[in-house]
Amino acid sequence: MVLDKDDKNRVQRRLALLLLALIVFSGNLYSPLAAAEKIYTLKFATLIPTGTKWTKTLDDWVKDVELKSHGRIKFKMYPGGVMGDEPDVLRKIRKGQLHGGLFSGYGIGRIYSPARILELPFLFKNTDESDYVRNRLMPEIETGFRESGFELLGWPEVGFIHFFSKHKIESIEDMRHSRIWLWQGDPLGEALFKAADINPVPLSIIDVYPQLSAKHGSIDTVYMSTFGAIALQWYSKVSYASHISVTNAIGAVVVSSAFFNKLPDDLQKLLRDSGIAASDIIREQTRQENTKSKQLLIDNGIKFLWDWDTAELDEFIAIRDKAAAHLIKTNYIPQDFFTKTKSYLEAYRREAGKNITPTNKLPDKN
């Protein structure tokens, strides 16, 4: 049979229509599967350097999420401050260049500043008190994060903050004669130093180690947890530290709401549940490692001075209260949040009894 030109054209048109129908049908048939296999890449940054227990726990969290999501969530990690200081990371998250990070209280304050009531100096006697109050404030804190465009996945902590210096510090007056670092742009730090009549040197945390290392560096005194001082290598540039710990510094694991809200419900739940679990592990590790790290620093020649038995406690409390008044006035930490926190703390102390044994060297006054 020989087809003329018109017959050939008709056959070709029919074949084209049949092929088009098959493409449409196959697309409808497999599109749910394609949607189920969509991969979400979470770009996550932290100041924590590699090789620490913190980063090991974060790595375990990443592997757990990637495994349980069957590869539907992939992480791209940026540790060690490679994406800049915390304000830089937050700026990149808001622009969509990054999606999440692990932040200290400094970064938390740029998301939801009232949460920093939890690291107000000399407020809590021990971690039992701070845990109790935090748990009761957490629903409000989570809402505050969400309204600021972030999903709070967990609440680790940096730990108890000590002073580290190239020279002996045994009084507040000694601090006034020191070139002490201030994390640049930190309203809580600024308020405390101003209340103490101390003139600090504002620097990004990225610049601290170089300035400590320089022969004529701009700073000679810093503040950090014992574990953090080792992880950041600051300990290698100082000779002295304070027994006094001024506060238990907080932390948070967050992702942007823009990223989180794109995830299917099962992946949102996985990310939230696993983030809480990983943060709880980091918090307990931090408490253990800070104790071990203090002894390790002593073994490496760091001399710890200035304990609570010689501290000007009344002066410390007066400084804290003056700083708190400023933070209330500027609404960095609103009055109602202070009142609520004190109410929870007083309720805990009534329940626990008056004879609470401090576990962290914080003073009994508040």
Name every residue whose Cβ is closer than 8 Å to that of residue 259 and which is 6 or more positions away in sequence: 40, 42, 99, 100
CA 28 – CA 41 distance, rounded (Å): 26
CA 129 – CA 80 distance, rounded (Å): 32
CA 181 – CA 88 distance, rounded (Å): 19
**For residue 302, is it within any domain?**
yes
CA 174 – CA 156 distance, rounded (Å): 32
Is 116 within 8 Å of 137 (Cβ atoms)?
no
Cα 183 to chain centroid distance, Å, stands at 15
CA 341 – CA 288 distance, rounded (Å): 26
Q: What are phi and psi of 152, to 5 degrees?
A: -85, 115
Is 111 within 8 Å of 87 (Cβ atoms)?
no
| Per-residue confidence in pLDDT tens, the chain, 366 aa | 554 555 545 545 554 444 444 444 444 433 444 445 799 999 999 999 998 888 899 999 999 999 999 999 999 999 999 999 999 999 999 999 999 999 999 999 999 999 999 999 999 989 999 999 999 999 999 999 999 999 999 999 999 999 999 999 999 999 999 999 999 999 999 999 999 999 999 999 999 999 999 999 999 999 999 999 999 999 999 999 999 999 999 999 999 999 999 999 999 999 999 999 999 999 999 999 999 999 999 999 999 999 877 667 889 999 999 999 999 999 999 999 999 999 999 999 999 885 544 444 444 444
Four-CA torsion 172, 173, 179, 185, nearest 10 degrees: 50
Selection from 78, 125, 86, 121 nearest residue 106 by Cα: 86
Side-chain half-sphere exposure of 137, counting CA atoms within 13 A: 26
**For residue 133, is it within any domain?**
yes
At residue 207, the 3 state secondary structure works out as helix
Q: Dihedral sign, CA of 350, 355, 360, 364?
A: positive
**For residue 22, is it within any domain?**
no
Q: Which residues is 74 bridged to in the sheet?
A: 41
User: Per-residue pLDDT tens for 85-115?
Assistant: 999 999 999 999 999 999 999 999 999 999 9
pTM for the full predicted model: 0.86
Q: Which pLDDT score is estimated for 109? A: 98
- Domain span including residue 223: 38-352
Selection from 168, 119, 171, 114 nearest residue 144 by Cα: 114
The residue count of the chain comes to: 366
**For residue 272, is it within any domain?**
yes
CA 97 – CA 340 distance, rounded (Å): 37
Is 327 within 8 Å of 191 (Cβ atoms)?
yes
Q: Which pLDDT score is estimated for 275? A: 96
CA 186 – CA 194 distance, rounded (Å): 12
**For residue 167, is it within any domain?**
yes
Query: Considering its fold, how many domains does the chain have in total?
Result: 1
Q: Which pLDDT score is estimated for 38? A: 92
CA 120 – CA 124 distance, rounded (Å): 9
Is 72 within 8 Å of 267 (Cβ atoms)?
yes
**For residue 13, is it within any domain?**
no
CA 259 – CA 107 distance, rounded (Å): 19
CA 82 – CA 62 distance, rounded (Å): 18
Q: Mind giving me the DSSP string for 66-88?
A: HHHTTTSEEEEEE-TTTT-SHHH
**For residue 363, is it within any domain?**
no
**For residue 5, is it within any domain?**
no
According to DSSP, the β-strands at 248-256 and 100-104 are antiparallel
* CATH code (residue 95): 3.40.190.170
